[in-house]
């Protein structure tokens, strides 16, 4: 079941999606899968490297931190080796309680929580503020992991890639920043944020610079993403530099509905001159 979380702060633009449903494209499936079909585990199951904090009420000598060894067990007072890997903390608590109650204590009260998470790594690389290996602490989504990594660090990013076993899941960045666009992250996932394609807008716009490119993006959409035209902008003629060729676009006619909007290609450079009128 998809777990919906509050929107975390991720740098970059949030764009509307036409069909209102976020999708993750999974290579090898021959199509796309709704992200709601990707299940998020509802419990955290402990494993090798985690450190458990176990407390037995009224029994200080049985309270402390217990690391899970590579064989999946902890060494616990009186009980010796106790296998716990793959259990939830409530299950570990019930197991320890049952073993103590059997031979040593009468109806002991046992409390367990994870003190250190280190068994479920997720690697984050690419255009994030803090690329590193992070450890899951329970049901976790892509948006949460990217927030832990400081967010996306480049405005041109258009997709996030998750390598899981032999599959590559491609998530559109504009979907991810929306409430319904999150996907589950699982132990062992490799998350990569590649550099996206962009167009470059210079001159009389609110925010000159790179604008992320997407298939079918038009001049009007790009200008809107760049903060819109300033009052000083010359709209009669806009110039676009593409592969060394200078293309003249009569943008005023586009605004008047007389010409179709101009479709941009990656690396286009748009120049908005100053109007002298």
Query: How do residues 14-45 score in pLDDT, each as one tens digit?
Result: 333 333 334 444 333 323 333 444 455 578 99
Average pLDDT, the chain: 84
Question: Are 194 and 126 spatial neighbours (Cβ–Cβ below 8 Å)?
Answer: yes
Is the pLDDT at 166 greater than 60? The verdict is yes
Is the pLDDT at 178 greater than 50? The verdict is yes
pLDDT band at residue 206, thresholds of 50, 70 and 90? very high
Tokens found for residue 253: 């006619």
Question: Are 111 and 54 spatial neighbours (Cβ–Cβ below 8 Å)?
Answer: yes
0.85 exceeded by the pTM? no
Q: Which residues contact 199 (CB under 8 A, 6 or more apart)?
A: 210, 211, 213, 217, 222, 264, 265, 266, 267, 268, 269, 270
Tokens 């996030």, residue located: 160
Is the pLDDT at 5 greater than 80? The verdict is no
* pLDDT score, position 257: 93
pLDDT band at residue 12, thresholds of 50, 70 and 90? very low
Strands 269-272 and 198-203: parallel
* pLDDT score, position 176: 85
Instruction: Give dist(CA 167, CA 188) in Å, integer.
Output: 12
Closest CA to 124 of 188, 34, 79: 188
Is the pLDDT at 11 greater than 80? The verdict is no
* pLDDT score, position 197: 86
Question: Are 195 and 203 spatial neighbours (Cβ–Cβ below 8 Å)?
Answer: no
Distance, CA of 207 to chain centre: 26
* pLDDT score, position 214: 83
pLDDT band at residue 4, thresholds of 50, 70 and 90? very low
* pLDDT score, position 78: 94
Per DSSP, the residues of 237-268 read -EEEEETTEEEEE-HHHHHTTSSPPPBP-TT-
Instruction: Give dist(CA 58, CA 52) in Å, integer.
Output: 18
Is the pLDDT at 139 greater than 50? The verdict is yes
pLDDT band at residue 213, thresholds of 50, 70 and 90? confident
Is the pLDDT at 126 greater than 60? The verdict is yes
Please tell me what DSSP assigns to residue 251. H
Tokens 């903390």, residue located: 89
Please tell me what DSSP assigns to residue 69. P
Q: How many residues does the chain have?
A: 277
* pLDDT score, position 41: 59
Per DSSP, the residues of 83-146 read E-TT--HHHHHHHHHHHHHHHT-SS--EEEEEEE--SSEEEEEESBSS-EEEE--SS-BHHHHH
51-110: per-residue pLDDT in tens?
999 999 999 999 999 999 999 999 999 999 999 999 999 999 999 999 999 989 999 999
Tokens found for residue 131: 């690329």
**Residue 221, helix vs strand vs coil:** helix
Domains with residue ranges and CATH for the chain? 23-42+125-193 (3.10.560.10), 51-116 (3.30.1950.10), 198-272 (3.10.560.10)
Is the pLDDT at 232 greater than 60? The verdict is yes
């Amino acid at each position: 079941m998809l777990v919906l979380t509050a929107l975390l702060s991720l740098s970059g633009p949030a764009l509307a999606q036409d069909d209102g449903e976020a999708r993750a494209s999974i290579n090898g499936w021959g199509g796309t899968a709704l992200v709601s079909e990707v299940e998020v585990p509802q419990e955290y199951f402990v494993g090798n490297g985690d450190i458990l904090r176990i407390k037995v009420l009224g029994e200080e000598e049985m309270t402390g931190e217990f690391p899970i060894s590579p064989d999946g067990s902890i060494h616990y007072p009186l009980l010796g080796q106790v296998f716990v890997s793959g259990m939830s903390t409530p299950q570990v608590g019930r197991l320890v309680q049952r073993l103590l109650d059997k031979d040593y204590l009468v109806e002991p009260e046992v409390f367990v929580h994870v003190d250190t998470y280190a068994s479920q790594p997720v690697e984050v690389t690419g255009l994030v503020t803090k690329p590193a290996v992070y450890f899951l602490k329970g049901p976790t989504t892509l948006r949460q992991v990217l927030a832990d990594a400081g967010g996306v660090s480049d405005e041109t990013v258009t997709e996030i890639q998750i390598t899981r076993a032999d599959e590559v899941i491609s998530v559109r960045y504009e979907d991810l920043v929306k409430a319904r666009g999150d996907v589950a992250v699982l132990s062992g996932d490799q998350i990569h944020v590649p550099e996206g394609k962009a167009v470059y807008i210079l001159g009389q716009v609110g925010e000159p610079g790179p604008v992320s490119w997407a298939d079918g993006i038009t001049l009007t959409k790009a200008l809107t993403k760049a903060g819109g035209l300033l009052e000083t902008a010359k709209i009669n003629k806009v110039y676009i530099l593409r592969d060394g060729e200078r293309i003249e676009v009569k943008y005023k006619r586009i605004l008047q509905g007389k010409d179709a909007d101009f479709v941009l290609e990656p690396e286009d450079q748009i120049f908005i001159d100053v109007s002298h009128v």
